Structure formats: C-alpha cells, structure tokens
Amino acid sequence: MSTAAKAAITKEPMTKQPAETTTTLLEVKGLKKYFPITSGLMSRTVGYVKAVDDVSFSVRRGETLGLVGESGCGKTTAGKAILRLIEPTAGEIIFEGRNIVPLKPREMRSLRRQMQIVFQDPYASLNPRMSVGSILAEPLQVHNIVHGKELEEEVKRLLEVVGLPASSISRYPHEFSGGQRQRIGIARALSLKPKLIVCDEPVSALDVSIQSQILNLLRDLQEEFGLTYIFIAHGLAAVKHVSDRVGVMYVGKLVELADGDEIYRNPLHPYTQALMSAIPIPDPDIKRERIVLEGDVPSPVNPPSGCRFHTRCWCAKPECGEIEPKFKDVGSGHFVACHLYP
C-alpha cells in the first residue's frame, strides 16, 4: 500500500486530529427493535421477537467498540438498526449530534456516505455478476463523486489500499479467495470515506490464518484514515486485539461495557465471566476453571422477567427473577447490569 495511494483516497492530510478523538461520534439511546410475529389468514400480530431491547451506548471518534455475545443476542440487529438498514422500533440514534431516526429516505441517502458496513459473509455480500471494478465503482457513481477516467483510477487505488493488485479490477468475485473477497468488501465500505464502519463479524467466515490478516488490515486502515468502528463478534477473543472498549450483549440487552483491558482483567457480570472462561490460553501450564452454563438461552419472544440471565446464573438471588437490574456505572466507566453490584 503506497503512500500515494492512501493520499489519493483521503485527498487530505492523513494525520489524525487528537482533539476529535475525545468527542462522541455516535450515541445510541434506548434502542429497540421488535420483529412482529403474525398468524392466520389475516396476518394478525400475536407477539414480538424482542431482538434489541433498550440498548444504550456511545462511540467516540477514532475508537473501536466491540459488541460480543452468543448467536441471537441482537448484536447484528443493533448494528443494522444503527445504520437504519432496518428501521428501529424505538430509541434515538444520534450521529454527530443529529438524531437520524426521524430522517426521511432522501435525507438518509446523503448520510449513508458517512456510515458504512462490512458484512459477515464475503461470498454473499458481493454480486457475482459484477466485476470487482463495477462493485467498487457503484457507490462512487451513486453518490456522484467521480466519473470517467478518474473513476477507474479511484477504483484501482482502493484495491491497492486493501492490499490487492490494481489488475484485479476486471476479475469477478468467484475468482478470489474468501480473504480477498473480504478485502474487496472493506474497499467498498472505504470508497465513500466514511466516519463510521460497522464490521459485522468480518472474520468469522474466514480461516484462522486469514483472520489475523484482515484484523491487521482493519487496524491499519483505522490508523491511516481516522476511522471509527463498531466491531461485532461472537466471542471476546476475536475483539481483544482490535477494540478500545467492549460491550457484552445477552438476549437483546447490553449487560456489561468497559475499556478493553478492564473487561478482560476484571469482568463483573457472570455472563461475561463465563465468556472469559471459554477463551483458550496458549500455555499448557496455566489452568483456567471453565464456567459451563446450564440450560438454554431464553427466547427473545418471551424473555424471563427481571434479569434475563438469572435462569442460567450461578449467583442468582431472589430479586434477580423479579427486578430488572439497571445498566449503571460502577466506577471508571465500567458499566454493568447486575444486582451483585448495588
């Protein structure tokens, strides 16, 4: 990746502005996303899947916020709702001081340049009937950024930025490996010079040897272009080396949020502790007691009353099944929703 190629993409100095790194880029307040369950000939609504239920957090400029949790916990739904790829049921999504939930489609279209996504599946996220050049040129044409000869040069620069040769411009997605396809997906997200990128499990479908390459690429791009990430993953191990802060979700709720080092050193919520115990240690002499959770994950259609984790928690008290714990700061920006911490 040449310096000239990076400069051509940004068209501005590539140094970060330290003053901006301390400001809030995105603030999510009380975000909810309920999917209706219908039944009968009249498609009558008989219930709701509460995929995301009252989630709040903020993301500072230039940082990476990791969202982790089991499959079905609502982390991907939260990411798509933040970008309004699916419409939120309730809550506020404040991007650069502006609530984007009430914006109309025409207003959102201009905002899309600032908020992009890298999808989980590099095979399904690229149109197999379009060449790589057409895939990367499409967003530039839709937003009327560059045309003609400049368009082709911009596409070639994008390929170089993500570590692919410019000659790849005429090839099709099926001619690339999984890791290379994900690089193309990253280049597409980067093409509009966004401020926020939601990375929806970008390495879960890749081989372990390729995962580290993609993670390093994302980190390098963030450093060069001052990007802000929401990094969604299944486990805490995947986000350890890329996240500044980590949030843990369980059945549509955010149960813990803290700085990356803090949450690995001092996990407070029992669910986070269970996730931590599942991370393998690359040292046979170090033993870690594994916390095996009993029972199944509750259904988001009919979640338990009180704390949603109390049905599987070894520390549960009587009030855990009756009173929902508040998501509160217990010190130094370490938030947790648990009755163990008054």
User: Residue 11 domain-assigned?
Assistant: yes
Predicted confidence at residue 342, as pLDDT, reads 79
| Residue percentage of the chain with pLDDT more than 70 | 94
pLDDT digit string, tens, across residues 287-315 = 778 888 888 899 999 999 999 999 999 99
User: Residue 215 domain-assigned?
Assistant: yes
| Domain coverage including residue 65 | 3-336
Flag whether pLDDT at 7 surpasses 90: no
Answer yes or no: are the C-beta atoms of 2 and 72 closer than 8 Å: no
- Could you tell me which residues come within 8 angstroms of residue 171 by beta carbon, excluding any fewer than 6 positions away? 131, 132
User: Residue 342 domain-assigned?
Assistant: no
User: Residue 341 domain-assigned?
Assistant: no
pLDDT digit string, tens, across residues 99-122 = 999 999 989 988 999 999 999 998
Answer yes or no: are the C-beta atoms of 170 and 131 closer than 8 Å: yes
The CATH number assigned to the domain holding 135 equals 3.40.50.300
User: Residue 69 domain-assigned?
Assistant: yes
User: Residue 63 domain-assigned?
Assistant: yes
Q: SS3 for 323?
A: coil
Answer yes or no: are the C-beta atoms of 55 and 249 closer than 8 Å: yes
User: Which of 269, 245, 242, 243 lies closest to 256 in space, CA to CA?
Assistant: 269
pLDDT digit string, tens, across residues 159-207 = 999 999 999 999 999 999 999 999 999 999 999 999 999 999 999 888 8
Q: H-helix or E-strand containing 33?
A: strand 24-39
- Could you tell me which residues come within 8 angstroms of residue 102 by beta carbon, excluding any fewer than 6 positions away? none
Q: H-helix or E-strand containing 335?
A: strand 335-336
Q: SS3 for 195?
A: coil
Flag whether pLDDT at 14 surpasses 50: no
User: Residue 170 domain-assigned?
Assistant: yes
Domains in the chain, number? 1
User: Which of 243, 306, 319, 307 lies closest to 269 in space, CA to CA?
Assistant: 307
User: Residue 191 domain-assigned?
Assistant: yes
Q: Which two tokens stand for residue 104?
A: 């109309």
Answer yes or no: are the C-beta atoms of 60 and 196 closer than 8 Å: no
**Segments of 85-188 assigned E as strands:** 90-95, 98-99, 115-118
Predicted confidence at residue 20, as pLDDT, reads 45
- The residues pairing with 65 across neighbouring beta strands, listed in sequence order, are 230, 245
